[in-house]
A and B are shown apart, each in its own frame.
Chain A
C-alpha cells in the first residue's frame, strides 16, 4: 500500500435518484475507496451497476446524497468559495464513453479544446491547442475541422485533448474504449498510459472489459448493483478473486486460444439482476449466489480486509 496521502478519498458515498411514485433508485449505495496520486483504479461491473454514476458524482456533476468525497484532503461538498470550486473543476476532468455524443457538432476542434482553457484562463492560446493535438497523436492542422469529419478513435483523442487542456490532476475515464473497435481500443489505452507517465495523471478507469482493466489498473474495484463487493490490487484480484461475483466475472473472460477456451470452465450465474429501486437490506447478490445463507438476507455485508489491501464484502467468506 502507498504511504502517501490519497488524492481522492471516497467515503460511504451514496447517490439516490428520486423516481417520484416509483420510489428511490439507489444507483450508488455506500461505496468507499481511495485513489493515490499517479495510480489507476479500475472500476468494473455489469451495465447499470452504478459505475458511471459513481464517477460523475466524484466529479461533482451530481450532488451526492450522502457520504464524503475528498480531493487533496478537502471535502468537495464543503467547497463554498467560488475560487475553490473553479480550482477543483480545473483539477478533475472526464473522458466520455460515446465519442459521437461527447463533442458538440457545431464547434470546431479548436473551439472544443479551447472551451476549458477559456473558462480557467489557461494561457497558451492556439499554440497550446496544437501542442495538445500533437500530444494525443492528431495532426496540428485539425483545429478548424468539425467533429463529423473524424473517425471514432480520432474523436476520442479530441475528447482526451479537451480534458487535458486544463492541466488536470485526476481524470475519470468513463468507459473511454467501449464504443471503439478493438484495434482502436489498444491505441487509445496505450495513449492514456503514455499520458499518465508523461503528465503524472491519476485515473479512475471505468470499464466492463476486464482484460483491459487488468492491463491498465493498479487497483480494481468490482461493483454490483451500486455496491462495491471487492476491492484489491489488480494482480491480487486476478490471481485470487474472493467474491463469488468476481470469480464468475473473471471466468467469463474469453481466452485468445481456442484450445484453452474450450477446456475452461465458466462459472454460471443464475437468476436475474435485481432492481436497484426500493431494494431492502441484505446482500444484493444473494438472489444469484448459491452459497447464500440466512444472514445474507438480513444485513448488508460490509467491506472487510481478508488479505493485505484486499477487501471483500461477503458474509459467507467472513464466516468461513
Chain B
C-alpha cells in the first residue's frame, strides 16, 4: 500500500476542504475566513512515508508492577482499605505511648462506664480503658496475622516450588504429606501444641502455622507446574540458563502476584483464628489481651453494656474486611486479563 501525505505549504491550521471542482488534481476551492482560495497543485508537497515514525509506539513503556500500581490506585475501595489498615497499624504502634491511660490501669469507681471524653470507648467490667486495650490487643492480633502469614508464605513457596519444579516422585511424596496435614483438624493441633508449649502467643503462632502453609504450597506447585510447560522456560534452558536463575528470573516474577494476593487473604484468616481461639479461651491469656479475648470478656456483659463487645468486634470485623477488600483490589490489579 502506498500512503501519500499531502501537506499544504502556505497554511498550517486545519481547515475543511470543500471540493468545487470534480478533478482534485487540477484545482480546488476552499472557503476560509470568508475568502475563496483556489488550491493549485503547486501548493502541495509530497511528504512520503516516514519509516521511523510509523514504527513508533505512542504510549510510554511501563512495567508490569507500575501498571498494577496504576490500576490499584484507580480502585477507591482498595485504596480506602489500605489507608484504614495503615491507620490501624500506626495506632497499634504509637497510641499506647500517646494515650494517657494504660491498658492495665484500673478505675474501679467507674466500671462498665460508657463512652466519655476521658475514656473514648468507655471502661470494661474491671474499670480498664477499652480504647487503650484495643490498640494493645491489636498489636497481638496484627502481629499474629503478619508473622503467621510470613511463615506460611516462606514455607509454602519453598515447599510448593520444590515440589512443582522437580515433579515426578518428589512431587508425589511431598503432596501426600500435604494431604495428610490438611486432613488434621486444626483445633486438635492447637490443643496439642498448647498442652506441650503452654498457652500464649508463640504457641498460637506455631499451632496455626503447622497447617496453614499447605494452601499456598498447593497453589505455588500448581503455578510452577503450569509455568514449566511454558516455552520461555524451555528457551531459557536452551540458552543454558542455570537452574537457580530460571527460578529467580522466570518462575518467581510470574508467580509473585499470586503469592501477594494469597497472602493478603491469609492475614485476615490468621487474625480471625486468633480471635476465635482467644474467644473460646484457647489463645491469649490475661493480663495480655487481644481483640478476641476482649470480645470474650465483652460478651459476658453484652445485655447491659454492649459497648464492651461492640468495639473489639468492630475492630476485628473492619480489619478483616479491609484486608479482604485490599486483597480483592490487588487481585484485580494483577490480573493480566484486565490489562488494556
Q: Is B63 an interface position by the 8 A CB rule?
A: yes
Seed contacts A106-B254, A146-B61; 7 additional CB < 8 Å A-B pairs: A56-B234, A89-B240, A115-B239, A119-B239, A119-B242, A120-B239, A149-B61
Name which residue of chain A comes closest to B61, CB basis: A145
Shortest CB-to-CB span from B336 to chain A, Å, is 7
Name which residue of chain B comes closest to A96, CB basis: B231
How many residues of B are counted as interface, with CB atoms below 8 angstroms from the partner's CB atoms? 26
Q: Is B155 an interface position by the 8 A CB rule?
A: no
**A120-B240 Cα distance, complex, nearest whole Å:** 8
A146 and B64 within 8 A (CB): yes
Chain B contacts for A139, CB-based, 8 A: 52, 55-56
Chain A contacts for B242, CB-based, 8 A: 119
Shortest CB-to-CB span from B297 to chain A, Å, is 49
A59 and B231 within 8 A (CB): no
Contact with B along A74-95 (1 / 0, CB 8 A): 0000000000001001101110
Chain A contacts for B250, CB-based, 8 A: 104
Chain A contacts for B56, CB-based, 8 A: 139, 141
B-side interface residues toward A, CB under 8 Å? 52, 55-57, 59, 61, 63-64, 230-232, 234-242, 249-250, 253-254, 336, 339
Instruction: Return 24 A-B CB contacts under 8 Å, by A number.
Output: A56-B234, A59-B238, A89-B239, A89-B240, A90-B240, A92-B238, A96-B231, A102-B232, A102-B235, A104-B249, A104-B253, A104-B254, A105-B254, A107-B249, A107-B253, A108-B63, A115-B236, A116-B239, A116-B240, A116-B241, A119-B239, A119-B241, A144-B61, A149-B59
A106 and B239 within 8 A (CB): no
Chain A contacts for B234, CB-based, 8 A: 56, 61, 94, 96, 102
Shortest CB-to-CB span from B161 to chain A, Å, is 16
Task: Give the A-B contact count at a CB cut-off of 8 A.
Answer: 78
B240 and A86 within 8 A (CB): yes
Q: Is A97 an interface position by the 8 A CB rule?
A: yes
Q: Is A98 an interface position by the 8 A CB rule?
A: yes
**A149-B58 Cα distance, complex, nearest whole Å:** 11
**A204-B259 Cα distance, complex, nearest whole Å:** 40
B231 and A93 within 8 A (CB): no
**A263-B339 Cα distance, complex, nearest whole Å:** 49
Contacts known (A59-B238, A89-B239, A106-B254); A98 close to B61, Cβ less than 8 A: no
**A102-B233 Cα distance, complex, nearest whole Å:** 8
Residue from the list B52, B57, B231, B241 in contact with A102, Cβ < 8 A: B231
Shortest CB-to-CB span from B167 to chain A, Å, is 13
A98 and B237 within 8 A (CB): no
**A97-B52 Cα distance, complex, nearest whole Å:** 29
Shortest CB-to-CB span from B227 to chain A, Å, is 10
